[in-house]
Amino acid sequence: MSDPKIVSLCKGLPKNISYNGKDFLSGIWKEEADELVVRSAKIDDDDVANHAYHGGPDRVVCAYPSEHYTHWEKRFGQPLTPSAFGENLTLSGMTEEQVCVGDVYQIGETILQVSQGRFPCATINKRNNNNLLLKAVVEMGYTGYFFRVLQEGTIRPDSAVTLLEPHPKRVTVASIHHLYFHNQSLTEETIAHMLEVEELALPWRNKLLEKQQQLAKGTTHAN
């Protein structure tokens, strides 16, 4: 397994985009950058359009594994541009199967903690002009994930990526996704173990509690 490294850095402010004859505002169209100046609540010159559903202190830095680009390009037969999934960091050696919620990384000057997997939305389809992509992302669990900021600083393309503190519970981003969307390993014990990860961001904690309640009532079904 290769050491983690940065493949690209991207940032951008929300833009008005026209898609299928309709205009909408989105921050998913980001551009490659020479550096990311990461603050506790946001990245300089970077933002989301809808603060009700995106952004906030648990979702400051969005990351996406570079390995998935190869998969999607082969599957759909079309090249992808940098930050095709609206991420700030495209990283190699850090897939959802490898990264655990609560893991702490030093990336450049920053110290970041994995807070949650991404809950994908249809803007991904618009960004890549592919109406089949969102469904495939959910199917595969190739969503990417978010970091909260423990120490502010600057990240550059050649910055090192170092795992400082692996979380002891070892709950991967992928395991939470597949339990929620596909009922994979869905048991009371598994959910309880995931909920023991105090660092899990509240929206996903609430989703697990919802699954827990459904399981107790015997009404759980795959999404």
The token pair that represents 172 in the structure block? 């991967």
H or E element, residue 69: helix 67-76
- Kindly state whether residue 69 falls inside one of the protein's structural domains: yes
Instruction: Give the pLDDT confidence score for residue 1 in this predicted structure.
Output: 62
Does residue 137 belong to any structural domain of this protein?
yes
Answer yes or no: is 220 within a domain: no
d(CA 114, CA 177): 14
Instruction: Let me know if residue 199 belongs to a domain.
Output: no
Residue 195 lies in a domain: no
Q: Which domain holds residue 53?
A: 5-167
Distance CA(90)–CA(63), nearest Å, equals 6
Compute, in degrees rounded to 10, the torsion defined by CA atoms 173, 178, 184, 188: 60
What pLDDT was estimated at residue 99?
98
pLDDT at 36 over 60: yes
pLDDT at residue 77 in the model: 96
What is the pLDDT at residue 27? 87
Write out pLDDT tens, residues 153-211: 999 999 999 999 999 999 999 999 999 999 999 999 999 999 999 999 999 999 999 99
Residue 210: per-residue pLDDT: 95
Q: Based on the structure, what is the number of domains in the chain?
A: 1
Residue 149 maps to a domain: yes
* Residues 37-75: tens digit of each pLDDT: 999 999 999 988 666 566 689 999 999 999 999 999 999
- 86-103 pLDDT, tens digit per residue, is 999 999 999 999 999 999
What DSSP element (H or E) covers 3? none
- The CATH number of the domain where 13 resides is what? 2.40.33.20
Cα-Cα-Cα-Cα dihedral sign, residues 130, 17, 45, 205: negative
| Structural domain includes residue 28 | yes
